[in-house]
Amino acid sequence: MQRLLMRSPVAVAAFWIGAYIAIALLPLLVLLLHAPPEARNFWIEFSVALGFIGLAMIALQFALTARINRIEASYGVDIILQFHRYISLVAFSLIIIHPLILFVTDPETLQLLNFIEAPWRARFAVVATLALIVLVVTSIWRKSLGIPYEPWRILHGILAVCAVVFGLAHALGVNYYLNLFWKIVLWSAIAVIALWLLIYVRLVKPWFMTKKPYLVEDVIPQRGDVWTLALRPRGHEGMRFQPGQFAWITLDISPFRMREHPFSMSSSGDHPERLEFSIKTLGDFTNTIKDVKPGTKAFLDGPYGVFTTDRYWDAAGFVLIAGGIGITPMMSMLVTACERKDDRPFLLIYANKTWEDVTFREELDTLDENLDLTIVHVLRQPPEDWSGETGYVDKELLERYIPLHRGSRQYFICAAPKMMDQVEAALYDLDVPTTNVHMEHFNLV
């Protein structure tokens, strides 16, 4: 039974990939089932196909950002959001290429850009395209443009709705490929589902969150300019999670405000009655954690993530490689393993700038006494009497510590992007199977 459960995520992941491709290509399938009676030249047909596929992909973006548990559990939120960003550019390109092909093959269609005199179907297309352009520009260059996250998120949702609604209105107005009732129903259903997912994320889910509030119980200072935010559920049993997972926190405001931040839990996954998030002071919201007062209300959306040792019950052991605040999910894994009396070996390679920056330094020493744990500290600026590892976590350092039988362990990496890239490349050079390497990014927004 356990072995089947371990295989099922791969099958489920393959299913969702197939479902995405099927829905994105649905316009072409519709054309094959019932093509319009009048055939047109290849480039016009090709242009229209690109437009329909692009519109379907834009509608699917609502599903990718809805944090649907069954989909997220197959890939992890970080991978889904990365896919969301890249596939948005693909969909945007298809939609832009659609009219460009028409303009080149039939220059008379340029008259449709005259917004005042053009028919409504052309005006809908212009509005949808402009909304999509603004959406892409404000997403890629949000920080450069100085747009705060919360207003941008609201604008992002409005522009996405405009792109889908006006894009569909354009297709219906043309009434060439959607001239049958069942085709109209099919595309309208896609649009309605997309809008429902947006309503679910913005309204329904926050409403459920208000029914399960948390209160700040304590704010504990840690080494490395890190503060541990301890939350206790109010009026409910709390949230059980797999060690290494994270949740989105809304602190001291309504969850309808959409000002939420993702942080990994650093406490045991088996104690939902007290959840701890260890947060490094890096700017903006994180600078305020140390000033949060006990009794402050909080709301959680989670747990999320596949960066957890719980998915690998049959692994011979684990290699945890952390940099700075990347120790947070590792700490949750180690604390949980210690409480469960896990007898498998754990190797922690932990990189920091100085000895005083080592978050959870004393706590890790305590775990070392109750767990088969080997800790390798790597310091870039070590003290004079330091006899441990120095510099960076490179191929030579890893080769000295990771097991000879590389594939017998599962490897978890959480650090700054540059360090993660370097460690991933080094593990690849050391013949560690890529399927055994798992990475967690600091920032998702």
Residue 23 has pLDDT above 80, yes or no: no
- Residue 437: phi and psi, rounded to 5, are -110, 125
What are the angstrom distances between the C-alpha of 75 and each of 7, 12, 250? 14, 10, 24
Residue 4 has pLDDT above 50, yes or no: no
Q: Of residues 343 and 173, which shows the higher confidence score?
A: 343
- HSE, side-chain direction, 13 A CA sphere, residue 227: 16
What are the angstrom distances between the C-alpha of 215 and each of 99, 238, 249, 274, 276? 53, 11, 12, 10, 12
Question: 323 near 416, Cβ under 8 Å?
Answer: yes
Cβ neighbours of 168 (radius 10 Å): 22
Q: Residue 30's pLDDT is what?
A: 67
7: exposed, middle or buried (Cβ count in 10 Å: 0-12, 13-18, 19+): exposed
126 pLDDT tier (thresholds 50, 70, 90): very high
CATH says 214-304 is which class? mainly beta
What are the angstrom distances between the C-alpha of 399 and each of 72, 418, 428? 33, 19, 11
Q: Residue 179's pLDDT is what?
A: 63
Q: How far is CA 427 from the centre of its chain?
A: 24
pTM: 0.80
Q: Closest Cα to residue 325, out of 443, 218, 226?
A: 226
Residue 6 has pLDDT above 80, yes or no: no
36 pLDDT tier (thresholds 50, 70, 90): low
Q: Of residues 189 and 210, which shows the higher confidence score?
A: 210
Q: Residue 22's pLDDT is what?
A: 80
Out of 182-196, 394-408, 422-436, least confident range: 182-196
Instruction: Give exposure, 318-357, as e/b (b: 16+ Cβ within 10 Å).
Output: bbbbbbbbbbbbbbbbbbbbbeeebeebbbbbbbbeebeb
* % of the chain residues with pLDDT over 70: 91
Average pLDDT, the chain: 86
Domains 214-304 and 310-440 share a fold: no
Q: Closest Cα to residue 301, out of 259, 340, 337?
A: 259
Q: Of residues 73 and 327, which shows the higher confidence score?
A: 327
Task: Kindly state the average pLDDT of the residues 103-126.
Answer: 86
For CA atoms 25, 162, 171, 185, the dihedral sign is positive
Query: What single letter denotes the amino acid at residue 184?
Result: I
With vertex at residue 135, the alpha carbon angle to CA 129 and CA 136, rounded to the nearest 5 degrees, is 95
Q: Residue 406's pLDDT is what?
A: 87
Q: Closest Cα to residue 48, out of 115, 110, 108, 105?
A: 105
412 pLDDT tier (thresholds 50, 70, 90): very high
Cβ neighbours of 31 (radius 10 Å): 16
> How does pLDDT run across 210-265, given as a tens digit for each residue?
999 999 999 999 998 999 999 999 999 999 999 999 999 999 888 887 788 889 99
Task: Kindly state the average pLDDT of the residues 402-422.
Answer: 92
Q: Of residues 195 and 14, which shows the higher confidence score?
A: 195
Q: Closest Cα to residue 87, out of 168, 23, 31?
A: 23
Question: 231 near 295, Cβ under 8 Å?
Answer: no
Q: Residue 3's pLDDT is what?
A: 34
Question: For 106-218, where are the alpha helices, taking DSSP H only?
Answer: 120-140, 142-145, 149-174, 181-199, 205-210
Q: Of residues 235 and 12, which shows the higher confidence score?
A: 235
Question: 51 near 98, Cβ under 8 Å?
Answer: yes
Task: Kindly state the average pLDDT of the residues 338-359.
Answer: 94
Q: Residue 5's pLDDT is what?
A: 36
Name the fold adopted by 310-440: Rossmann fold (3.40.50)
Residue 103 has pLDDT above 80, yes or no: yes
Tokens of 128: 């949808």
Q: Residue 38's pLDDT is what?
A: 61
Residue 197 has pLDDT above 90, yes or no: no
Report which listed range, 138-147, 160-169, 210-219, 302-311, is most confident: 210-219
Task: Kindly state the average pLDDT of the residues 56-66.
Answer: 84
Task: Kindly state the average pLDDT of the residues 76-96.
Answer: 86
Q: Residue 182's pLDDT is what?
A: 65
> How does pLDDT run across 285-318, given as a tens digit for each residue?
788 888 899 999 999 998 988 899 998 988 999 9
> Any idea where the domains of the chain sit in the sequence?
2-208, 214-304, 310-440
Out of 9-18, 73-82, 220-229, least confident range: 9-18
